[in-house]
């Protein structure tokens, strides 16, 4: 609480003699109750409060829940096998790292229904996967807050293919199924990151947000 025994009392004694109003005294005492910081410290704290893991996760909300088809692709020796898949994207999991830069590790689980067609024989696989993305919070002119998401490489896609038969497992390896799935998903996610909807979600116009919420003083 503000200390009124020192400066406040001295100011109060001057009311009337020096023309200092009682309202000014109250305002002075009120303003002494804050711990002031520099603009730079304020900006840093604003970033840490505004760019949370929850808000970054929300930017991927439209992305989560999508399903897409991987059209048949010829694979294996002599391109004898055709690989197709239906991919379902689950809710992202986001963790934040606060250092000189504020970064995020984003993991998006996948469930993949995979079909390996060998013309005379078809093998179906249930595949679990994960997309590993990284993002960095950045500031830009004039007053923008940007969540910069790096596009994934095939090596950022993890797939766990399980087969109920030894034959299915051997065919999967020969056909190079895992690598093709990783390449396809990496390409799909890169296109999604570049989509107008995703680009819009990654940029926050702070000035515009303040204009919409500021009620004046």
Tens digits of residue pLDDT in 29-69: 666 777 888 999 998 888 888 888 988 888 777 677 788 88
1 band by pLDDT with thresholds 50, 70 and 90? very low
Same domain? 136 vs 182 = yes
Same domain? 56 vs 108 = yes
Does residue 44 fall inside a structural domain? no
Same domain? 64 vs 99 = yes
How far is residue 88's CA from residue 69's CA, in Å, rounded to a whole number? 9
Same domain? 90 vs 2 = no
pLDDT of residue 30: 64
pLDDT in tens, 75-109: 666 676 788 888 888 889 999 999 989 999 999 99
Report the domain count for the chain.
2
Does residue 42 fall inside a structural domain? no
pLDDT in tens, 195-206: 888 888 888 888
Q: 3-state SS string over 87-116?
A: EEECCCEEEEEECCCEEEEEEEEEEEEEEE
Same domain? 23 vs 74 = no
Same domain? 80 vs 120 = yes
How far is residue 132's CA from residue 186's CA, in Å, rounded to a whole number? 10
- The answer to which of 2-11, 84-93, 207-216 has the lowest mean pLDDT is 2-11
User: Residue 9 above 80 pLDDT?
Assistant: no
Give 77: exposed, middle or buried? Use CB within 10 Å, 0-12, 13-18, 19+.
Answer: exposed
- Residue 11 token pair: 């100011």
Same domain? 91 vs 8 = no
Give the domain range for residue 29. 1-36
Three-state secondary-structure class, residue 120: coil
Q: What is the pTM for the complete model shown?
A: 0.72
CATH of the domain at 74: 3.15.10
pLDDT in tens, 117-140: 877 778 787 888 999 999 999 999
Same domain? 22 vs 111 = no
pLDDT of residue 16: 46
Same domain? 69 vs 176 = yes
Same domain? 200 vs 101 = yes
Does residue 45 fall inside a structural domain? no
Q: Which residue has the higher pLDDT, 136 or 73?
A: 136
Does residue 41 fall inside a structural domain? no
């Amino acid at each position: 609480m503000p200390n009124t025994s020192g400066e406040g009392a001295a100011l109060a004694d001057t009311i009337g003699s020096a023309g200092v109003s009682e309202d000014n005294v109250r305002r002075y005492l009120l303003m002494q109750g804050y711990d002031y910081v520099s603009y730079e410290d304020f900006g840093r704290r604003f970033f840490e409060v505004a760019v949370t893991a929850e808000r970054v996760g929300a930017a991927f909300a439209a992305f989560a829940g999508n399903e897409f088809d991987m059209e048949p692709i010829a694979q294996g020796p002599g391109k004898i096998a055709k690989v197709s898949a239906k991919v379902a994207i689950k809710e992202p999991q986001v963790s934040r790292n606060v250092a000189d830069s504020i970064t995020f590790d984003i993991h998006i689980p996948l469930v993949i229904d995979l079909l390996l067609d060998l013309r005379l024989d078809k093998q179906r696989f249930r595949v679990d996967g994960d997309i590993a993305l990284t993002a960095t919070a950045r500031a830009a002119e004039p007053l923008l807050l940007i969540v910069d998401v790096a596009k994934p490489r095939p090596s950022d896609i993890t797939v766990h293919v399980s087969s109920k038969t030894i034959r299915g497992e051997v065919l999967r390896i020969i056909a190079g199924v895992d690598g093709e799935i990783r390449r396809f998903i990496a390409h799909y996610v890169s296109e999604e990151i570049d989509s107008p909807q995703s680009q819009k979600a990654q940029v926050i116009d702070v000035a515009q947000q303040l204009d919409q919420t500021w009620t004046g003083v």
